[in-house]
Structure 1
């Protein structure tokens, strides 16, 4: 008898992962580059697979990798395991292999100390079954390059950036997201930022209080990220991108829907903005809530009943205290006034979904008197990501 089991992918199994990937996503990409990247996940157990076999001649039939991110929530950084490259061989689909794999991913995220895990779903059915819920979006807007070119900002000195500026980019992004109390943006490992800055097809410029990273995309320009701490720098960096308007009529911009560029550009972004939604799950509820920033004026004392069948450590009766922008979740005695929720409701609440919406979807019940205080504590700017992983 053979059995399906979760394993750490080994070097000699990378060819098998590649084959399953091709059958799942179709041909494309550079095999050598993919394998080089995949090896960075092998080193510390962030590439998991499912094998079918008895130990001898195991066949790898599914795989997933975990990115070591940090994510901004309420202006504070929370470690997050970004799940990507989830693939299952066609002949093994519909047999619970994806669920088996993702349960292994959740356990590994817990072992790695990631209070959160997030992903872009190819299907919501699998991930909702395991406790993930929609938390935010990735927005792609299309602007007229000529509009950007005329924004000015000549008072801000802008220079080309290189690999040596990686730490500066991290400092500038951190300062901006803390000041804005951002929800959702990622912090990539420093090595990844260095590789982007070393890529000759990536254009990066830095000012005293901001930077921009962009590239060519099918005859248009595409802005991956623009951070600016002042109006003058906002104008200068967008004008730098817009200086290519004689060649590129359009600039695609990955940015939040409330970015200053929407107020500065003479013409509004094209109406067909592209939106990719992403999902979130709490792996360690006390650590996730303690790590998140909350509204400074919010004061909350609330009893919760969490039922998490996949991660039993989250299950139980808890007392949530929030004051001064900081939360604490401690075990408590059962309460008749508790807010009842599962992992999907907890993830959506964490992301700032109004409690009335969660009640309408049946994701929370009880504790109705808590709704206004919960909305205040978890509210804020709409969560967004700039990156697809």
Structure 2
């Protein structure tokens, strides 16, 4: 196992191409790859002098219960075809998990090309990224004329981040990423993107094959949501449809006259807890809900998570502290732990064999971890 360096980039590109047939702008790919090399977030597997697998980790934060939790976003996982099925992928991903520990990410998430490898190492499905296609003419008629909307510029980057934070905190969002300021600035400098801002929201969208596509839309009120969607829909004289990634419970589904097109799709992502106490301490929980429960976690890949724990939830926060063994403990491995953290009902986890014991507190766990279904707006 090695850290990928500049000298390895040609080999990584070749493995990437053979693994997934990916092309694209190689100069741009090299530029992005170097940003991971700088602080050791790109790992590779060597066979002699030959690089045969690689993966990189994004330094993200993610909203959970309306609070920000650091998350290592795993991407670019590639294994040369002739090395598949020989344990190389598992070797690589174990190193990735240890890197996430080293970097201080309580969580790690990824979009899987296959579930077998990742489930074997403790990841489980937590949420989805969903794309919907709306009639542009429907959006144009949504109103919101009393809301002032202006063109946004680079100097609005901090305002965009502030508005997004307010919205996700108020909604107790689960799953969305916190964008780096530099990324928001790049949206606002990109001439192919159109950005508008209101008092409590903003939208970024673009033309896409003769239609329109929303990149990001945040609205803190009904009037602002109507105004921003109508701004996008104002292109209805040319664009017939508008694509947008948004959760299935977004208010837009209740505002538009026609249901989203059937060609809408979802891309599911997986989660894993790297540091269980830190993950629980960082997450938000519903106000007024109290729970005291014993857990028995068995995590063969990350032994620091293994043991008997006491989960205490109150005042919107939680602690996970070492405890004496209990016969009434909820027993679970890393997959069950990830799914529980993401709000999967206990009945579902029991039905899948991912938890056992502690049945008397199922309703309490569901109340504590319940909330908006986890989703992401961004791919990585």
TM-score (norm 1): 0.96
Alignment of 1:45 onto 2:40? yes
In the alignment, the residues of structure 2 paired with residue 272 and residue 201 of structure 1 have an alpha-carbon distance, to the nearest angstrom, of: 25
In the alignment, the residues of structure 2 paired with residue 194 and residue 15 of structure 1 have an alpha-carbon distance, to the nearest angstrom, of: 30
| Over 4 Å off, 4+ runs | none
Displacement of 1:219: 2.1
Aligned to 1:348: 339
In the alignment, the residues of structure 2 paired with residue 218 and residue 131 of structure 1 have an alpha-carbon distance, to the nearest angstrom, of: 40
- Contact 1:72–1:78 (CA<8 Å) still a contact in 2? yes
Out of 157, 165, 170, the position equivalent to 1:174 is 165
Q: Secondary structure at the match of 1:248?
A: coil
Aligned to 2:348: 357
Aligned to 1:7: 2
Alignment of 1:150 onto 2:141? yes
Alignment of 1:219 onto 2:210? yes
Query: How many residues in Structure 1 have an aligned counterpart in Structure 2?
Result: 380
Alignment of 1:308 onto 2:299? yes
For structure 2, list consecutive stretches of 5 or more residues without a partner in the other structure.
none
Displacement of 1:52: 1.1
Alignment of 1:59 onto 2:54? no
For structure 1, list consecutive stretches of 5 or more residues without a partner in the other structure.
1-5
Alignment of 1:31 onto 2:26? yes
In the alignment, the residues of structure 1 paired with residue 82 and residue 207 of structure 2 have an alpha-carbon distance, to the nearest angstrom, of: 39
TM-score (norm 2): 0.98
Alignment of 1:137 onto 2:128? yes
- The one-character-per-residue Cα deviations of 1:340-386 (angstroms, maximum 9, x if unpaired) are 00000000000000001000000000010110100000000111100
- The one-character-per-residue Cα deviations of 1:71-101 (angstroms, maximum 9, x if unpaired) are 0111111000110111111111111111111
Out of 277, 283, 291, the position equivalent to 2:274 is 283
Displacement of 1:240: 0.8
* 1:86-235 map, 5 Å: 86-235=77-226
Displacement of 1:272: 3.3
Structure 2 CA distance for partners of 1:287 and 1:64, relative to 1, 3 Å: same
Displacement of 1:218: 2.1
Alignment of 1:254 onto 2:254? no
In the alignment, the residues of structure 2 paired with residue 8 and residue 191 of structure 1 have an alpha-carbon distance, to the nearest angstrom, of: 25
Displacement of 1:152: 1.5
Alignment of 1:266 onto 2:261? no
- The one-character-per-residue Cα deviations of 1:177-207 (angstroms, maximum 9, x if unpaired) are 0000001111122222222222222221111
In the alignment, the residues of structure 1 paired with residue 147 and residue 83 of structure 2 have an alpha-carbon distance, to the nearest angstrom, of: 57
Displacement of 1:131: 0.2
Structure 2 CA distance for partners of 1:173 and 1:21, relative to 1, 3 Å: same
In the alignment, the residues of structure 2 paired with residue 243 and residue 216 of structure 1 have an alpha-carbon distance, to the nearest angstrom, of: 13
- Contact 1:68–1:189 (CA<8 Å) still a contact in 2? no
In the alignment, the residues of structure 2 paired with residue 12 and residue 193 of structure 1 have an alpha-carbon distance, to the nearest angstrom, of: 31
Aligned to 2:312: 321
In the alignment, the residues of structure 2 paired with residue 226 and residue 322 of structure 1 have an alpha-carbon distance, to the nearest angstrom, of: 32
In the alignment, the residues of structure 2 paired with residue 218 and residue 98 of structure 1 have an alpha-carbon distance, to the nearest angstrom, of: 37
In the alignment, the residues of structure 2 paired with residue 347 and residue 287 of structure 1 have an alpha-carbon distance, to the nearest angstrom, of: 13
Displacement of 1:134: 0.3
In the alignment, the residues of structure 2 paired with residue 281 and residue 175 of structure 1 have an alpha-carbon distance, to the nearest angstrom, of: 26
In the alignment, the residues of structure 2 paired with residue 196 and residue 107 of structure 1 have an alpha-carbon distance, to the nearest angstrom, of: 33
- The one-character-per-residue Cα deviations of 1:311-361 (angstroms, maximum 9, x if unpaired) are 000000111100111100000111111110000000000000000100000
Out of 232, 240, 245, the position equivalent to 2:231 is 240
In the alignment, the residues of structure 2 paired with residue 199 and residue 65 of structure 1 have an alpha-carbon distance, to the nearest angstrom, of: 26
In the alignment, the residues of structure 2 paired with residue 361 and residue 297 of structure 1 have an alpha-carbon distance, to the nearest angstrom, of: 30
Aligned-residue CA RMSD (Å): 0.9
- The one-character-per-residue Cα deviations of 1:214-262 (angstroms, maximum 9, x if unpaired) are 1222222111211011111111100110011111100011111111111
Displacement of 1:151: 1.2
In the alignment, the residues of structure 2 paired with residue 218 and residue 238 of structure 1 have an alpha-carbon distance, to the nearest angstrom, of: 19
